[in-house]
Amino acid sequence: METIELAIQVLDSGLRLTALLLFACLAGLFSERSGIFDIGLEGKLLGAAFAAGAGAAVTGSAWLGLLCGIGVSVVLSLMHGLASITFRGNQIISGVAINFLAAGMAILFGQAWFGRGGNTPSVTGAAKFNDISLPLVDTLNNVPVIGMLYRELISGHTILVYIAFAFVPLTWFILFRTRFGLRLRAVGECPEAVDTAGISVIWLRYRAVIICGILCGFGGAYLSISQNSFFVRDMSAGKGFVALAALIFARWMPFNALVSCLLFGILEASAIAFQGITIPGIGEIPVQFIQALPYILTVILLAGFVGKAVPPKAGGVPYVKER
């Protein structure tokens, strides 16, 4: 019984981590599918987390906090767009710059406005996304297994967790069932063709990075006013890069992204839960190894030892219209 409870606990906290990774991973998916590499996911998460924490603390509304988070994240995205689409700069360098700017400014403004060493004030009640209990929890409670799974795993998350998972089919639909999605994918593979068809490459790519910003905004708000109740220094803790790894692992496909984010989320949750547990025949697995596993797996996958990850063809290359 105890092991089952432990397993459910791990899965439950794994789901919470997955939600965060999903936001960032799908954000990156939109951007990279349009041919704009984005290693600034981390910075956008952090900037949005700060803005959401600050916004929620000042307005007392979690939804306004979310809006602030999205706003800041979109501004950072537009900066990335300006540098990499309009000025045709190096997308990697721009991403690095955004990570620095977000990390520095969050603490700087946090200290100037709230004077708590960069943290935002703790929020409660309506200023925070609270766990919601899904209907039928009590009815299903008596059903064995399903009742417990439903109560412990499916129910009792904040609304943002459900939104994160809902974004997966939505992303798939937008990318593979709409005209916009088709063009977006085309612009990441062969922008010349899109241009020849009389569609603006620039505007398409800007829309992609804006969507990326919106999704990162959700992710940041999830960090500071859903998972936690305030913003602290470096709270994104490299999750933006894990999301990037998950994106590569998913080979830039939405439903694969769900799988890879679940994998990495549960890996991390189990790393915390299984600290110091010995596995028969192998011995004790260091917790640091499990924490590094997403990165190691990504390296192995990228190297083509297991399957092959091929990024969008026009990724990282600024588009120069022929004259």
Partner 1 sequence: MNQDLPRWADMVLIPALNLAMALLMSGLVVIIIGENPIEAMKYLVYGSLGYGEGIGYTLYYATNFIFTGLAVAVAFHAGLFNIGGEGQAYVAGIGVAIACLWLDNTHWLIVFPLAIFGGAAFGALWAAIPGYLQAKRGSHIVITTIMFNFIASALLVYLLVNVMKVPGSMATETRSFEAGAHLPFMSDIFAWFGLKIEKSPLNLSFFLAIAASVAVWILIWKTKLGYAMRTLGFSSTAALYAGISPARIIIIAMSISGALAGLMAVNEIMGVQHRLLLGYTAGYGFVGIAVALMGRNHPVGIFFAAILFGMLYQGGAELAFEMPAITRDMIVVIQGMVILFTGAMDHMFRPTVARLLSFTRSQQEGA
Contacts to partner 1 by CB under 8 A: 37, 39, 79, 82-84, 87-94, 96-105, 107-109, 111-112, 118, 238, 241, 244-245, 248, 286, 288-289, 291-292, 295-296, 298-299, 302-305, 311
Nearest distance from residue 100's CB to partner 1, in Å? Answer: 3
Nearest distance from residue 102's CB to partner 1, in Å? Answer: 8
CB nearer to partner 1: give 15 or 242: 242
Cα–Cα distances in Å, from 317 out to 30, 40, 137, 182?
A: 16, 17, 51, 19
Q: Are 30 and 24 in contact (CB under 8 A)?
A: no
CB nearer to partner 1: give 84 or 227: 84
CB nearer to partner 1: give 101 or 137: 101
- Write the CB contacts of 12 (distance below 8 Å, at least 6 apart in sequence): 152, 153
Q: Where are the beta strands (DSSP E) in 36-156?
A: 131-132
CB nearer to partner 1: give 118 or 157: 118
Q: With CA atoms as reference, report the closest residue to 129 among 72, 49, 241.
A: 49
CA dist 56 and 223 (Å) reads 13
CB nearer to partner 1: give 94 or 270: 94
Nearest distance from residue 308's CB to partner 1, in Å? Answer: 9
CA dist 165 and 162 (Å) reads 5
Q: Which residue has the tokens 């900066």?
A: 79
Question: Phi, psi (5° rounding) for residue 313?
Answer: -65, -40
CB nearer to partner 1: give 245 or 250: 245
CB nearer to partner 1: give 39 or 215: 39
Nearest distance from residue 47's CB to partner 1, in Å? Answer: 11
Q: Are 79 and 98 in contact (CB under 8 A)?
A: yes
Nearest distance from residue 8's CB to partner 1, in Å? Answer: 27
Nearest distance from residue 51's CB to partner 1, in Å? Answer: 14
CB nearer to partner 1: give 167 or 249: 249
Q: With CA atoms as reference, report the closest residue to 225 among 67, 99, 111.
A: 67
Angle between helices 254-273 and 239-249 (to 10 degrees): 130
Nearest distance from residue 295's CB to partner 1, in Å? Answer: 4
Q: DSSP for 247-267?
A: HHHTTT-HHHHHHHHHHHHHH
Nearest distance from residue 305's CB to partner 1, in Å? Answer: 8
